[in-house]
Structure 1
Amino acid sequence: MRKYSIQNKIVVPFTLLFVMVIVLSTFITITLFNKKYDEKITQETVQWLEVIFKTGYQLEIDKVKKTFGVEIVMFSKDNGVISTTLKSGSDEQIAKSVKLQESRRIIERSGRKPVIMDINFRGKPYKVIHYPLVIYDRMYTLMRGMSEIAAAKRQVTWTMILVAVCGIILVALVGHFIAQNITAPVKDLVQITQKVAGGNLELEGKITTRDEIGELTAAFNQMTRKLRQSQQELVKAERLATAGRMAAAFAHDIRNPLSSIKMMVQLLRKRVQPGEENQKYIRSITEEIDRLNDIVKNIMDFARPMKLNLQKDDINSVLLEVLNFMEAKLIHHKITLVKNLSKDLPLIMLDADKLKQVFMNVIFNAIQSMSSGGELTIATKQRGSTILVEISDTGVGIPPENLSRLFEPFFTTKAEGTGLGLTNARQILQQHGGDIEVQSKVGVGTTVIISLP
């Protein structure tokens, strides 16, 4: 049982990461904004103070208040209030509120430089500048109200926080959307996998993306196709094994009676005088017995394990022996033979007798397809480490619906034959490490390509 889904594993870290980034960015932005804004206000207040003293209006405190909107307090040496724009409060309360004693100590340590500080006076924020006067050791204090500025800063801060919250929500939604898009095909693939595991090999995943998920789905589909193919091949192999056992038993039971019949026919031939009409019937019986023996031999070859007698030999020599043997049949059927045999082929390991059987079967099929004559082309060549033998005819061709079934055991379109010729040929070639391929077009002809290592 899974504890966390892939979607959660994607969304949660993704969202947390961006939340941390947004929160940290917002905090830094607000801090820097407040600092810069405070520096600007301080600089502006100092400039006001400089303007007041340069214009000589420092003693006209009411005019200063009206012009700059600030409060002015002038303290004596003993911290008494000489003059002020503040409407109420004792000297001691005012001095304490503006931190006069603390500022005097700082001024003494700093070489009588003005002191700037933030205070709360009567529940309101102020920025205060304590400016020491040379005359009678007095203190000129300017108090700038910061209530409106603080409200503006709070508004900016809350705006930034709101933007950050909206950003977090947006990130969560985007993360959820992205994760859903990623995991939806995976969930579909999981469901299909479960059904395939239940035995339904016909299902395939739908490829909706061109990323790794799409590649995974394509690989899964390829796997199911191979599983289907393996299952079909397994069923086919089981059927072939059963058919092989039955065919072997059938062939064994027929072979012995055929041998007896052939011996009796040979005895009968000796008793019939030459030239008698019965000799013709005896020859026909003998030919049919030989044909039945060939059928039995094909069945036995198909049913029993094949053993090769491999020796180094020249593939062209094997082909020429077969062509010499079948020359009379080619002439009889008015078939022109064209040989394009490569002279530079290396010797390869092969079983000459088995390959002769393959070549004779293919050439015999080609002859049968050219009942009115034609052209048979035999070509050999090397491609890389593979030897290719191409046998082409100009016969009637093979229909597409039959082309895919040529190597099925017992499949044949001929009135006579077992349908095992090409099946046995493929077995022989595969035992050699090679294969056979058939290309055909109706009305044009057929090419059989045999490959050997």
Structure 2
Amino acid sequence: MRLKTKLAAAITVLVFLIATVLSWLYMTQLLQQHIEQAYSSTDIIAHQLQFAVREALENGLRDKQFNANDPAALRQAVADSLRDDPGLNSFINSVINYSPTVLDIAIADRNGYGLVTAPDPALQDHRLPQRQDYASLLQKSPLRAIHTVFGPPQVYNLSLGLERDNQPFLTVRVGIRTTFLQNAFRPWLVESLTYIGLAILAALIAAAFLTNLALQPIEQISARLDALSQAGLEPAGELEPPSRDTVIQVSHKIERLGRRMRNVEEVFSALKENLDQILSNLQDGMMLFTRDARAVLVSRSVERFLSVHRDDILGAEVHDIFDRYSVLGRTVRQAFDAGIAIVQEEVVTETGRRVEISLDFIHDDRAGDAATSLGALLTLHDLESVREIENELELSRRMAAIGRLTAGVGHEVKNPINAIVVHLELLRSKLDPAASGLRHLDVIQSEIRRLDRVVQTLVDFSRPVELQLKDQDLRQIVASVQMLATAELETRNIVLDSYLPAHPVIVKIDSDLFKQALLNVVINGAQAMNQGGTLTVRLQEDGRTARLRVQDQGDGIPEDIRPHIFDLYFTTKREGSGIGLSMTYRILQLHNGHIDVESLPGTGTTFIFSIPVTNPPENKLRTFIEPNLSALKGPRE
């Protein structure tokens, strides 16, 4: 058998198995829905019967003379009232005659003896048989439910009680026979199996056809592989094994290309080892940037020049690495912005340290635009402490893409959700609009929509975010959030106190995202104060970092769950989604900031936002003057 035929057969079998499993799931859900519909209709009958019993007792006992303290006399009077009431008996007979699932109806006293039994009055004044509660059938697994419905006949009871003086008095019992459920479900089963069989047959035919159609481009792939193999790197005299099967030919060609790639990988490994040896002997700080000015290779000695940990530099953009107010940072930033190389330029830092800078842009000579660079190499040479520079440099790893797996799972889950919605609408169209079971379909549809919102939130959470970074006054952001949360806080009897500095606090943020992050924490704090109170927002900055503290007066966060509050979908609130704090944590990370939490049970919780300030020239001047203002005034006074 050819490999192409085997592949087509395997795909066909796989489609058959998938269709069979989905059909089984559909049938079990259909049976469960029918059992729930039967329960709903019988529950309505039981409540109507309970109401009719009350009416019969009120009408029958109104004019009767009996000793209410005598249990026997009371029981006899109740039995006569129920048996002689024409409305009650007429309702019971109509249910027995016309309900497709009800087997019998009984009204029993507190000891389980029958007062009214239909359709068999011989059970009156006798102890009624014990039966399982019909609600237990709803809790059974699909296999047990099928075995119960299609197995030996059984009778379940749906019971409602009546009380007298807060004590059990009467019990209304409606018996449901499983054979009646089977008879009512069989037409649906036959019709569904017919459609499922046709669907499986159509799926098998389509799978076989599409498999052959999908494998046709293999010949084109084979031609492309031949073109890739024309580089002349194959060993001399190597011939392709003769075969008439295109798939086998493509397999051999891929194997040949794989050997070539392994040879290239060996060469790359050797080059990497040579690079590691070279970097280990270098004493200068070295940084390799991509064409978008992001650091992908940083030597350990760079930390001595920038006073920043190497892990914080990797993946960062050149303008985020170098401070524009320092001599070294300003020189490098201007060179990158202008695209001009630096050849051993000496600068003196604010601390008097002499550093030699070399910046080389890497260009592709084969590209049409010679001005386009592939990246840049920055070398920092300490003229005063060359011997103190570390000897080892490490090759950095590129940052892995975050969220692809989550987005893929979300995409795959949405497809079954859409299929469920379509089949739900088909099922709704087949039901009588006046059927009582439609409310269950509405519940199912509502839950499906909620699940779809959860999946969409998961996809949105993992999707890359395009930041619209602008210089913003953080005080205005706090004021805007305060206005948005006013209505929510007033309904909870909460007062919001904000303490903002008199001067602007300028940060480079995406205002919409940061508002969302702050609003999430403010609303969480409000929800934590069930008895009302004061929610305090305090903004501070020290010239480098702005810190925003949001403090509530709630019960606090227990220590055992505090490490998990930022986990996605972790929540302790009954109606919470577990997304708000996770989104807040992610937004702070996107802004090169972080969020901390301080909490003591019984005293409240404080969330602390930390984000770098841009520190414009006027702020820099202010931060230099204000700490020394008192010292300047002291001697004069």
TM-score, normalisation: structure 2: 0.28
Instruction: Report which of the two has the higher share of helix.
Output: 1
Answer 1 or 2: higher relative contact order, Cα 8 Å, separation at least 6. 1
Instruction: Normalising by structure 1, report the TM-score.
Output: 0.38
